[in-house]
Every structure is written in structure tokens, then in C-alpha cells.
Amino acid sequence: MRRLMLVCCLALGTAAWVDLPPAAAGECPGNPNALGTSRVLTVTPGEFTRVGTIQYPDTLPLNNHEVVITFDDGPIPPYSTQVLDALASECVKATYFLVGEMAHAHPELVRRIYNAGHTIGTHSQDHPYAFRRLSAERVEKEVDDGIASVDAALGDPRGVAPFFRIPGFSSSKKAEAFLASKSLVTWSADVVADDWFRHITAKEIVRKAMRRLDRRGRGILLLHDIHPATAAAVPMLLKELKAGDYHVVQVVAAGERPASVPDLVVAHASDAGAPHISPRHNRSMVAHRAFHHHKRHALFHHHKKRVALNSEHRRGFFGMFDLAGHPDAGVAQR
Ligand SMILES: [Zn+2]
């Protein structure tokens, strides 16, 4: 079912999604051959606790040649922006698992993701190394802080889906029990494309994604919108999915959520002497933007380094079993 934003209700603060038939590919403005989004799958926490066959027995109930596209670790410009542009041009809806510190640094991207109609889940506050070894207190803090950061960036906690992906797929019974106790659906994946590998090319990402999808026939696909190769791969991947007669399924959480949130329009400090924020935007964000404008690159490299460390650790750990790990895939697929 397609969802229509009831903008008219915004002023009353009672905006809600309304189910409509899914957009057919031919209905995508400016792109008659678009891949499109074929249907919306509504997930009720409790109905699903853990999904994704890379780690768990269960996964989402997808039909043959249906794919759920997911992006982890962002948002970060310009790569998240490029991915959003590619998804928009094909009228494809995805599910994002945002990192709290990244959302805090780029609230304008969090809102753009949401207002484009994508689903937003969370992925911890700062993507800690070896999640499975964290204390129970630290797990709770990572989960809760990550959700709080994305809530704050979005400006409306009702917009964040109760979906969580454990960093590095580094799960533990303790973490899984905590997530279930909070009625969060823990997402693993069914298919990875190795897009976190150093020096992987966009073509290689597409080739791996398609080969593995073809083998399974369907599934939750894991990608990372923080990598330049992934950003370059997404337009090609969407075309390959269309050519392969795949259908994109969007996953949403049951319940009402805001139809949209106020956009943040951020200009570079050099343009006007100070960051400029849309009048609709909460003034408190001005200080955050001024700070993060200067911090942006440092944060990005910090995050990339953390992800690289995690990746190397897990590759080494699993290497003796001819398996490979990465920030969000405990097992590589051949
Ligand atoms: Zn991750």
C-alpha cells in the first residue's frame, strides 16, 4: 500500500499516513521506466523480533524477486545525498539505520530522508567497536542515546521506527534481549554486497548484490550510504534490479507517524557569514550547525576509521573459518 502524506493536517499536529495502492513504476514523475516501490510491508513489533537470515532463522515475508533495500551508518554528505537522489529518481523507498552521532551532525539529511518517504531506524549512538562485548549498561546507553539523537535530529520522535540494527552484526543474547524488551525489531540482513570493503568498485558492489540476490531469490539487502563506491553503485543497482524483474518492498512500522517534518535548509557559513537555517526550523539547531560545519570532516574521518577498525577486526576473527565480517555483516557471502 502506498502512503500519502496529509499535509493539510500538519498545522494541527495530527498528520498521519494514509494507505493507498503502491506507486506503479510508470507513475514515477519524469521516469516512465522507473523501478518504483511495489508495495509496503507493515511490521508490528512483537510480530517480528529478529529478522535476517545472515544471523537469524526468520526474515521478512517476501515473495520471490522482492527486495528490501537498507542503508546503514549514515547520514553523511555528499554520499547520502547522492544515494537519496538516485532513490528519488527511481521512486524507490528504502530503510535507513542511522548512527546517532551522524544524525546529530547532519539533521538536515535525517529530515530529507524522512520527508522523501523512507523508513528510519537506528544503529546505536556511535557505532561502538565489538558491540557484543559491551556491558548491559553500555548496550542500553548506545541504543537509547542513538534513538534520542535521531529523534532530536528529526524533531519528532514519532517519526523513528522501532527498528534497530546492531553495529557490526555483533550481537549477543544480552543485547537481543534488551532490544526485544524495548519492543525494537532487530534487523540483520539476507544479502550483503561487501560495499564496506576497501577499494571495492561500484560495479563489483552491483555484481555481488545481484548474484547473491539471484541465488536467494529475494531478501533484505544491506548497503552503506557513507561510501563513495556505494553512492556510485546505487543508480546502477536500481537499473539492474529493474532489468532482473525485482520488486522493491518498503517496510514501515505499524502505527501513525507524522506525514513530514520541517526541512532544514543549511547554507555554508562562508555564504552569509553564519549558518542560515530555515525560519521553520528550531533556533536551537543553529548552534549545532555552526559547530558541525567545522567538525564535519573530522567526524567523517573519525567514523570511517571506526568502521575500518571494526571491519579489520572481524575479518581477522572470522578468517580462519573462511568467513568475513564487517561493520554490519557478520558473514560474507560468496
Ligand atoms: Zn554499521
CATH code where residue 70 lies: 3.20.20.370
Domain that holds residue 37: 2-319
Record the cell numbers describing residue 4, joined without a space.
500519502
**Residue 239 above 60 pLDDT?**
yes
Residue 120 in any domain: the answer is yes
d(CA 98, CA 120): 7
Q: What is the mean pLDDT of the chain?
A: 81
Say how many Å lie between the CA of residue 310 and the centre of ligand 1.
Answer: 9
225: in domain: yes
Q: Choose the catalytic residue: 224, 247, 281, 303.
A: 224
Beta bridge partners of 69: 221
- Confidence (pLDDT) at 219: 98
Please give the Cα distance from 99 to 146 (Å, whole number): 6
Q: Tell me how far the alpha carbon of residue 302 lies from the centroid of ligand 1, in angstroms.
A: 14
User: Region 66-89: what's the mean pLDDT?
Assistant: 98
Point out the least confidently predicted range of 7-11, 98-102, 298-302.
7-11
119 contacts 299 by C-beta, under 8 angstroms? no
Active site residue 118: no
pTM, two decimals, is 0.79
Q: Is residue 334 part of a domain?
A: no
> Is 256 a member of any domain?
yes
| Listed residue (298, 307, 292, 327) closest to 103, CA to CA | 292
Question: Measured in angstroms, how far is the CA atom of residue 99 from the centroid of ligand 1?
Answer: 8
Say if 332 falls within a structural domain: no
The string of DSSP letters for 57-77 reads: S----PPTTEEEEEEES---T
pLDDT number for residue 61: 97
In a domain, 328, yes or no: no
Q: Identify the pLDDT of residue 185.
A: 97
Q: What is the dihedral sign for C-alpha 177, 179, 181, 184?
A: negative
Instruction: Write down the pLDDT at residue 298.
Output: 47
Q: How many folded domains does the chain comprise? A: 1
Q: Which helix (H) or strand (E) holds 325?
A: none
Going from the Cα of 49 to the center of ligand 1, the distance in angstroms, rounded, reads 19
Residue 324 covered by a domain:
no
Calculate Rg over the CA atoms of the chain.
Answer: 19
Predicted confidence (pLDDT) at residue 80 exceeds the cutoff of 70: yes
Neighbours of ion ligand 1 (CB under 5 A): 72-73, 167, 327-328
Does a structural domain hold residue 263?
yes
Query: What whole-number distance in Å separates Cα of residue 21 and Cα of residue 4?
Result: 10
Under the banding of pLDDT at 50, 70 and 90, the label for residue 268 is low
- Element of type H or E holding 3: strand 2-5
Residue 199 has pLDDT above 90, yes or no: yes
Amino acid residing at 6: L
72 catalytic? Reply is yes
What residue type is 241 in one-letter code?
L
